[in-house]
A and B are shown apart, each in its own frame.
Chain A
Amino acid sequence: MAEATSGAGAPRKSIFDTLELDTRLLGMVGAFVVLCLVFNVVTDGRFLTPRNIFNLTIQTVSVAIMATGMVFVIVTRHIDLSVGSLLATCSAVMAMVQTVVLPQGLGVELGNPVIAPVAIVAGLIVGTAIGAFNGWLVGYLSIPAFIVTLGGLLVWRNVAWYLTNGQTIGPLDETFQLFGGTNGTLGETWSWIIGAIAAAAAVWAIWAGRRNKQSHEFPVKPLWAEALLSALIAGAILGFVAVLNAYQVPEARLQRIFEARGEVMPAGYTEGFGLPISVLLLILVAVVMTIVARKTRLGRYIFATGGNPDAAELSGVNTRLLTVKIFALMGFLCALSAVVAASRLTFHSNDIGTLDELRVIAAAVIGGTALAGGIGTIHGAILGALIMQSLQSGMAMVGVDAPFQNIVVGIVLVAAVLIDIIYRKRAGVR
């Protein structure tokens, strides 16, 4: 709704108009594709291998989950600088719950299946509560979000330190580690099943939207355009699954798995990793957040408040409570990211999530979220996170020196915003 297209009566021009695609999003996808192709050429085809694509996706998840929440924060003209620290505190809480509180305090045996869920729920509660507290300070006490979360950046980073005495806590629970990527994938069959369901759901959503428009006699896209769009989306989903399934589990690892079961691995046996659970989690978060943004009153109020806070207040929106909800949601997502980040490392470390606040904000902004408020999309922020991660790991593969990597990422951030400003001016009021 933020990027509503031209009026219903306007003449259809290019193919993009007919498909009603967001040209800004297309530009970002285009830039991402070019980026990948360039890295692929420079690395002699090592960038676009199933293995690297698999790694890229699992590296992106943590920042991308938080970026979806940051979209809401920035859309309402706030900022959250404490997400990295909040992630560390949530991670510390979950690590302590599963290695100290439950086994030593309550006598639950290590490896007990109840440990992971309890730890995760504890982390989610802590994250949501801290977020809500931040939101209360911003909304009800009118302290600028920049200040509240700048303070939070220091406070929560060091609360995490205090909770763990600065120690690295690990190894984490086996079930907990399922959220980490290579330690938790769905395997080929289930990946295909999930992919098929997702593709069917996406196509169904497109056609349900068309029927709904038709029932109110609104103009709809030509049939071929809907069909093409459906085919493109279904193809993209299934293609992604195919790539992840093509990444083979290393032989040595398979052998260990069979040995653990007391079996002998058949000769020539292979298995693909398939969809990582963490990526599935990100997709779920993305779908839910997109529905919240577009289809719920909460989402409506978030964008209305971002567009004109006074208008929202005068229209009866409780903007103070709204601020609490948005920051609580941000805190919840930080905790979710903490699950992914800690389990990917297989341990909690004292510096987990350091500088993540900047990556998350950068991802949201590269993804088209306007700091002036009122504009931003969930899919844009995720794409922004993916672009940043691709840049970083692509440069690492090429062998660019570490300082230059960060210099390039910084320049890209500023350039992306500049291009966005120019684009919005050219496109007129948007």
Chain B
Amino acid sequence: MTTPIDRTGTPLVEMRDISIAFGGVKAVDRVSIDLYPGEVVGLLGHNGAGKSTLIKCLSGAYKQDSGDILINGEKVTINNPRDARAYNIETIYQTLALADNLDAASNLFLGRELVTPLGFVDEARMEAETRKIMGRLNPNFRKFAAPVKALSGGQRQSVAIARAVYFNARILIMDEPTAALGPQETRMVAELIQELKRQGLGIFLIEHDIHAVMNLCDRASVMKNGQLVGTVDVKDVTDDDILGMIILGKKPAKAA
């Protein structure tokens, strides 16, 4: 790993005592996590542990029943994805959230189209910008005119990532970004995460692959049955410790 993270200042994001229930089932129960600039925090847990639900409160897809979200130490209200974007929070969803029938440029700028002075969509400029950023992220990308339906999993993923990166995200949420990818494309995402870290972004990474978490994350927060098992510094623990947290819901002795 690179230089240690400075956690003395104000965290970039602080989620305090977040709870959300669906029809009596507590999907997230009084969970607190935080994130510092230049840090990658992994969120782990079984399916249904509540990690996606928790993070959706930050991205604006859900609204928490109770608890506070603080950005740079200030309490904020996030009611919908538009609010989240206003705080420079960008999300790459597991389902990629792309409109299959539109091309890469239309998807990249969806909801934030570039317009001409007359208020019309400036297709040419959006395509030019898309070519620029894709040249940086995935130089092999060529299918600018095709609907994203025609793209491979990796190409679609690079469109989704480009969307988050282009708009100068400060807080990035990645929900299993490598789930649908081959080895080469997974490496590409890993390199990108390192690059974004250096730029000072804070990243929440939802992952099932413990190996990826050990490689990419600075800290790992483990959830089970809607509750936080604990947050550990990845340097201090082994794969097995984290596995134990996920399966048994017990914090390892030495890191506790």
Contacts and interface: CB of A to CB of B under 8 A. Distances in A.
Contact of A311 (B98, B127, B128, B143): B98
A64 to B, nearest CB: 24
A315 B150 contact: no
A150 B99 CA distance: 29
B145 A4 contact: yes
Interface of A: 1-2, 4-9, 212-213, 215-216, 218, 291, 294-297, 299-301, 303-308, 310-318, 374-375, 428-430
Contacts, number: 108
Contact of B97 (A7, A218, A291, A310): A310
Contact of A296 (B85, B107, B119, B125): B119
B110 A304 contact: yes
B103 A213 contact: no
A314 B120 contact: no
Given A315-B97, A316-B82, 13 more contacts: A1-B106, A4-B147, A7-B144, A215-B124, A300-B110, A303-B102, A304-B110, A307-B101, A308-B100, A311-B96, A311-B99, A311-B110, A430-B147
Contacts of B102: 1, 300, 303-304, 307
Interface string B72-106: 00000000111001000001010111111111001
Contacts of A4: 103, 145-147
Nearest to B160: A311
Contact of B110 (A1, A212, A299, A315): A315
Given A213-B124, A296-B120, A297-B121, A429 B149 contact: yes
Contacts of A308: 97-101
Given A9-B142, A304-B110, A310-B97, A316 B127 contact: no
A4 B144 CA distance: 10
Nearest to A306: B101
A311 B163 CA distance: 12
B115 interface: yes
Interface string B124-158: 11011000000000000011111101100000000
Given A8-B145, A295-B120, A375 B113 contact: no
A304 to B, nearest CB: 4
A315 B81 CA distance: 7
Interface residues of B, number: 40
A311 B97 contact: yes
Contacts of B96: 311
B103 A312 contact: no
A304 B108 CA distance: 12
A315 B106 contact: no
A109 B111 CA distance: 51
Contact of A5 (B93, B101, B112, B145): B145
Given A296-B119, A316-B112, A429-B150, A304 B81 contact: no
Given A4-B147, A430-B147, A212 B99 contact: no
B61 interface: yes
A174 to B, nearest CB: 38
B128 A216 contact: yes
A389 B125 CA distance: 41
A313 B81 contact: yes
A274 B102 CA distance: 40
B110 A7 contact: no
B146 A316 contact: no
Give the most central of B59, B93, B107, B111: most A CB within 10 Å: B111
A316 B121 contact: no
B142 A7 contact: yes
B99 A374 contact: yes
A123 B125 CA distance: 40
A7 B85 contact: no
Q: Which of B98, B142, B146, B150 has the most CB of A within 10 A?
A: B146
Contacts of A428: 150
Given A295-B121, A296-B120, A300-B106, A316 B101 contact: no
B110 A8 contact: no
A71 to B, nearest CB: 14
Contacts of B142: 7-9
Contacts of A316: 80-82, 85, 111-112
15 contacts: A4-B146, A6-B145, A7-B142, A7-B144, A216-B127, A291-B120, A300-B110, A304-B99, A304-B106, A307-B101, A310-B95, A311-B99, A311-B110, A315-B81, A317-B111
Nearest to B59: A314
Contacts of B97: 308, 310-311, 314-315
Given A311-B97, A311-B99, A300 B121 contact: yes
Nearest to A298: B121
A429 B147 contact: yes
Nearest to A20: B145
Q: Point out which of B95, B98, B99, B123 has the most chain A C-beta atoms below 10 A from its C-beta.
A: B99
Nearest to B97: A311
B90 to A, nearest CB: 11
B85 A216 contact: no
A390 to B, nearest CB: 30
Contacts of A430: 147
Nearest to A213: B124
A354 to B, nearest CB: 34
Contacts of B119: 296
A300 B146 CA distance: 16
